[in-house]
Amino acid sequence: MKAVTWCGKKTVKVENVPDPTILNPRDAIIKITSTCICGSDLHLYDGYIPTMQRGDILGHEFMGEVIEVGKGVASDKLRVGDRVVVPFTIACGNCFFCKQQLWSSCDNSNPNAWIAEKAFGFTPSGLFGYSHMTGGYAGGQAEFARVPYADVGPLKVPEGMTDDQVIFLSDIFPTGYMAAEMCDIKSGDTIAIWGCGPVGQFAIRSAFLLGASQVVAIDSVPERMELAAKAGATIIDMRDEWIYDRLLDLTGGRGPDACIEAVGNESHGGTLDAYYDMAALATFQVTDKAHALRQCINCCRKGGTVSIVGVYGGIVDKIPMGAAMNKGLTFRMGQTHMMRYMKPLLEHIQAGRIDPSEIISHRLLLEEAPHAYEIFKHKRDGCVKVVLKPN
Ligand code: NAD
Ligand code: ZN
């Protein structure tokens, strides 16, 4: 089959690789009909996430048709012919963490747990197409994929719904929603969101769904800010506005009730700390840049919440803990607990409360993946979100 492979920093190729096969009784094989490129893939592309190997198949946002199931998958759970969206986190459904709905902390789905334990103390769940530290699983930017624990993750798509309507249930809609949910939004609240990428877009829409009175979105890419404004957000263009001052103006001098970090470890900016990050990264003193995270902490009102869904892989520096501590902030964060959100969010789509497809800017063929990574990475050609079609 054809698949998108990681071939070193800033190089992806479309190569012929062996088709996946059932390895374990609870596996299923999916023939992929839609697959996306995520901001998280850019962290791999840019070389921020360790333990990638040449030839690793990328991709963790995909859906398609079940063409084979292992003997351990009960037919009331999944059958050949079902159309499914696959969550990017892999979970066994039986461990201490899965039982508490902490799906992205599953204890059994990362066969390379020892690598993650060395880095983090404990391992998160396995992830599709996301380095050997999270399992070394082949990803879904391909014609076919093997899905482990297929009786737990995949969500069946109701008749009549298109791929474009449901594909983002594989990651970014639940992620944006969890980011907003972690803010414990009350009526009257102002939520500030750093990053108007695909995750930020869903955080904005979810904050409104959860009852925020005002959502303020921060970025510098014109078409992304436009899309955020279309969803009702007040925009701060970080290129020419002082974020802190503007947020105070918008909140009667108090600051946002919660700040969502939807940027991650490649955040950039024009202030001294952002330049410090670049120097620290170049000299191996840090692994991740934290400019947006620092701003979230500094701008949040006293007693507010900082909700982090932007991905961090290792060590950051110059985190203003004094501000966080003395303001009494609550920090919440994590890889998304996907299986908590997929079904309820499907219902929001069915009810017409949200149309996820409006963030798609490019529909391309799988073969065009190298070009797609380039335009998504450099925000060229108005690229907000790419959906790749294997056929
Ligand atoms: P993206 O790269 O398309 O978007 C990031 C946006 O942040 C860009 O529009 C960029 O212009 C903007 N930005 C950069 N620096 C900024 C700054 N200092 N202030 C404000 N905006 C800034 O990525 P995406 O697909 O939207 O993903 C966003 C983050 O969420 C990534 O780190 C991704 O890895 C992460 N993510 C996390 C999970 C999870 O489970 N927690 C799931 C999916 C994605
Ligand atoms: Zn993703």
Select from 326, 330, 387 the least CA-distant residue to 167: 387
Q: What is the mean pLDDT of residues 331-344?
A: 98
CB of 148 shorter than 6 A to ligand 1: no
Residue 363 pLDDT: 98
| One domain for residues 271 and 350 | no
Arithmetic mean of pLDDT, 232-251: 96
Report which protein residue has its CA nearest ligand 1's atom 16: 267
Residues 106 and 209 in one domain: no
Q: Which two tokens stand for residue 257?
A: 């009730």
Instruction: Please choose, from the candidates 338, 35, 349, the residue with its C-alpha nearest in 3D space to the C-alpha of residue 206.
Output: 349
Indicate if 17 and 145 belong to the same structural domain.
yes
Decide if 89 contacts 40 (C-beta within 8 A): no
* CB of 385 closer than 8 Å to CB of 358: no
Query: Do residues 155 and 194 share a domain?
Result: no
Atom of ligand 1 nearest to the CA of 40: 34
CB atoms within 10 A of CB 277: 25
Rg of the Cα atoms in the chain: 20
Whether residues 33 and 167 share a domain: the answer is: yes
Percent of the chain with pLDDT over 90: 99
* Secondary-structure percent of the chain, ordered helix, strand, coil, rounded to 5: 35, 20, 45
Q: Is the pLDDT of residue 391 over 90?
A: no
Are both 315 and 207 inside the same structural domain?
yes
Nearest to 214 by CA among 189, 181, 177, 247: 189
**What's the pTM value of the predicted model, to 2 decimals?**
0.97
Report residue 240's pLDDT band, with 50, 70 and 90 as the boundaries. confident
* CA gap 310, 274 in Å, rounded: 16
**H/E stretch holding 342:** helix 338-350
User: Do the Cβ atoms of 366 and 390 come closer than 8 Å?
Assistant: yes
In whole angstroms, what is the distance from residue 92 CA to residue 113 CA? 14
Counting Cα atoms < 13 Å in the Cβ hemisphere of 110 gives 26
In terms of residue numbers, what domain contains 320? 173-333
For residues 106 and 84, what is the distance between their CA atoms, to the nearest angstrom?
21
Residue 8 and residue 144 in one domain: yes
* Residues 15, 160 within the same domain: yes
CATH number of the domain to which 77 belongs: 3.90.180.10
Ligand nearest to the CA of 170: 2
Q: Helices 222-230 and 198-209 sit at what angle, rounded to 10 degrees?
A: 20
Ligand nearest to the CA of 386: 1
> How far is residue 279's CA from residue 286's CA, in Å, rounded to a whole number?
9
- Which residue's entry shows tokens 């490649």? 266
Determine the Cα–Cα distance for residues 169 and 343; give it in Å rounded to an integer. Answer: 9
- Say whether both 196 and 135 belong to one domain: no
Residues 15-71 have pLDDT tens digits of: 999 999 999 999 999 999 999 999 999 999 999 999 999 999 999 999 999 999 999
Task: Record the tokens describing residue 18, joined without a space.
Answer: 């062996």
Q: Is the CB of 222 under 6 A from ligand 1?
A: no
Q: Which atom of ligand 1 is nearest to the CA of 89?
A: 40
Element (H, E) at 66: strand 62-69
Question: Rounded to an integer, what distance in angstroms lies between the CA atom of residue 354 and that of residue 180?
Answer: 15
Q: Do residue 65 and residue 125 come from a single domain?
A: yes
**How many domains, in total, are found in the chain?**
2
Q: In this structure, are residues 89 and 73 in contact, taking their beta carbons and an 8 Å threshold? A: no
